[in-house]
Amino acid sequence: MADTGGAEQRSTAQAVVIRLWNSRWLLAAGIVAVLTVYGFADMSGYVVLLACAVLLFAAAMLPASVARQSAEDAAAIEAGGLQQLSGEYLAAAVADPLIIFDRTATIVHANAAAFAAFGGIAPGISLSLKFRAPEMQALLDSILSGAAASDVVDYTEKLPVERAYRVSASSVGHGTDLYVLVFKDQSEARRIDRMRADFIANASHELRTPLASISGFIETLRGPARNDPAAREQFLQIMQNQTGRMARLIDDLLSLSRLEMKPYLKPGTEVDLRQTLDSVIDSLGPLARENGVAIERDFAEGPLDVPGDRDELFQVFENLLENACKYGQSGGRVVVTIAHRDDGPEPGIDVTIRDFGPGIPEEHIPRITERFYRVDVENSRTQKGTGLGLSIVKHILTRHNARLSIKSEVGNGAAFTVHLPAH
């Protein structure tokens, strides 16, 4: 407490001195005026000038001493504050897993994030036994041997789930014989990079296939089929189909890109689901008739409004209904249901599109919304699918704070349900 009071008094004194320094010219002028007016006029001018010079010199020296004292006080306050913080408190404030160990690679302390990430770690446990990966052993050897003051490696934890970390190691302080490991989780960044690489590879493959076909047909038309009208007509039709497929793929890629650039959709306008689904069913009527599928409606009574963007929700239901008509055509019918949901924590509306086709094997359901993922590649291409429809559906629903659930049984069709919030 005495130190604090002294610091406060020094701060007050410093403020006074600074105010005097800021008014130094006015003070000098005042002194000269007083000397001149009140009886010191007979004094030598050199004496007056000497007095002013002394005053100005003292004022010039004061700021330097004040600055030095201020810096010393700040350093003392900072040192006192840091001394009151223990290493345990500092480690707890770090969000990443952090482990402090000694020269024998024995754990001295681990924060809560480290316990949550790795489990089974406690003071006294050997790091060499806990992390047996070669890269971790090399990191510990490098730091403990003094070969490097700090070092960084990439480490992958396999269990209970695979996580990728960038691990940095360094000494703590000077002469403490303590060292620290900090684990920066890179799993999400690695997943995004892998997904981006897969996306580019898949998109390139999807575009290369029709381009190769078109190139081959052009070569044939310029050679063996040059004078064969029937073959020329057949090849031109195939080329038209392939260019149409590439155009659909590019449109879907652009749709995905636009969706990813848009922020989360805040509820604003209301969308009438009854009217929207009626429009979707009417627009896909010719496709349903072409595939021999009857579309049935089962809509709940009353208002069926949800917050959202009508065009985007139209795209969601159009994708789902089109898939049901194409891939579930063997069932002969598709049922579109709108129902109120009152059993959850928040009220909402569920839209279910159910077909009675061959269904989807259970192992495919978790991955069916991935980009370019197909249950049956040949059937999908026959139906002019791009492999991006359900990925677009997922992105739109995420923007609407909604979700998609899929239930299917092989031989009994599939049901895709969109769960939309009512407010």
- pLDDT tens sequence across 254-305: 777 777 666 555 656 888 999 999 999 998 888 889 889 999 999 988 888 8
Hey, is 297 helix, strand or coil?
A: strand
Looking at residue 61, its pLDDT comes to 55
Looking at residue 44, its pLDDT comes to 54
73 or 326: whose pLDDT is higher?
326
One domain, residues 406 and 326:
yes
Among 386, 385, 384, 405, which residue's Cα sits nearest to residue 394?
405
Backbone phi, psi, residue 320, to 5°? -65, -45
CA angle 284, 280, 352 (to 5 degrees): 105
Which of 83, 104, 136 is the last residue in one of the domains?
A: 83
Looking at residue 266, its pLDDT comes to 61
**Residue-number span of the structural domain to which 128 is assigned:** 88-185
**What is the spatial distance between Cα 79 and Cα 88, in angstroms, rounded to a whole number?**
17
- pLDDT tens sequence across 386-396: 778 888 888 88
For residue 73, name the pLDDT band (cuts at 50, 70, 90). Answer: low
Per the DSSP assignment, residues forming a β-bridge with 295 are 334
One domain, residues 76 and 92:
no
Answer yes or no: is 196 within a domain: no
From residue 156, alpha-carbon distances to 52, 115, 160, 179, 342 in Å are 74, 17, 12, 21, 44
Which of 158, 185, 212 is the last residue in one of the domains?
A: 185
Label residue 256 exposed, middle or buried (CB < 10 Å: 0-12, 13-18, 19+).
middle
Among 340, 348, 354, 338, which residue's Cα sits nearest to residue 406?
354
One domain, residues 319 and 370:
yes
Assess whether pLDDT exceeds 90 at residue 247. no
- Could you identify the residue written with the tokens 């002294």? 6
Mean pLDDT over the full length of the chain? 78
Answer yes or no: is 146 within a domain: yes
Mean pLDDT of 302-313: 87
Number of H helices, E strands in the chain: 14, 12
- Six token digits for residue 154: 């990439």
Assess whether pLDDT exceeds 70 at residue 360. yes
One domain, residues 237 and 304:
no
Contact 128, 108 (CB under 8 A): no
**What is the spatial distance between Cα 87 and Cα 100, in angstroms, rounded to a whole number?**
9
Looking at residue 42, its pLDDT comes to 52
- Six token digits for residue 289: 């008739």
For residue 370, name the pLDDT band (cuts at 50, 70, 90). Answer: confident
Strand bridging mode 333-341 / 294-299:
parallel
**What is the spatial distance between Cα 149 and Cα 254, in angstroms, rounded to a whole number?**
49
- Six token digits for residue 323: 């898939």
Assess whether pLDDT exceeds 80 at residue 172. yes
Answer yes or no: is 195 within a domain: no
Per the structure, the count of domains in the chain is 4
Distance in angstroms between the alpha carbons of the first and the last residue of the chain: 57
One domain, residues 368 and 404:
yes
Which of 220, 243, 261 is the last residue in one of the domains?
A: 261
Looking at residue 149, its pLDDT comes to 81
Looking at residue 40, its pLDDT comes to 46
Contact 399, 262 (CB under 8 A): yes
- Could you identify the residue written with the tokens 């970390």? 165
Looking at residue 38, its pLDDT comes to 47
Strand bridging mode 270-272 / 305-307:
antiparallel
The DSSP call for residue 266 is P
- Six token digits for residue 117: 């990430």
162 or 281: whose pLDDT is higher?
281
One domain, residues 175 and 130:
yes
**What is the spatial distance between Cα 107 and Cα 101, in angstroms, rounded to a whole number?**
4
Assess whether pLDDT exceeds 80 at residue 174. no
Mean pLDDT of 215-241: 84
One domain, residues 320 and 390:
yes
Assess whether pLDDT exceeds 70 at residue 418. yes
Percent of the chain's residues with pLDDT above 70: 74
Assess whether pLDDT exceeds 90 at residue 106. yes
Looking at residue 268, its pLDDT comes to 67
- Six token digits for residue 129: 């036994």
Backbone phi, psi, residue 275, to 5°? -65, -40
Strand bridging mode 270-272 / 294-299:
unpaired
Q: Residue 86 region, left (φ>0) first, then alpha (ψ -120 to 50), else beta?
A: beta
Mean pLDDT of 157-177: 85
- Could you identify the residue written with the tokens 């359901």? 365
Type of residue numbered 133: A
For residue 337, name the pLDDT band (cuts at 50, 70, 90). Answer: very high
For residue 147, name the pLDDT band (cuts at 50, 70, 90). Answer: confident
106 or 223: whose pLDDT is higher?
106
- pLDDT tens sequence across 22-47: 555 545 555 555 455 444 445 555 55
Most confident of 10-19, 248-257, 339-348, 405-414: 405-414
Mean pLDDT of 135-148: 90
CATH number of residue 232's parent domain? 1.10.287.130
One domain, residues 358 and 416:
yes
Type of residue numbered 379: N
Mean pLDDT of 373-401: 76
Which region among 84-98, 225-239, 287-301 has the lowest average model confidence (pLDDT)? 84-98
- Could you identify the residue written with the tokens 């409004």? 305
One domain, residues 342 and 295:
yes
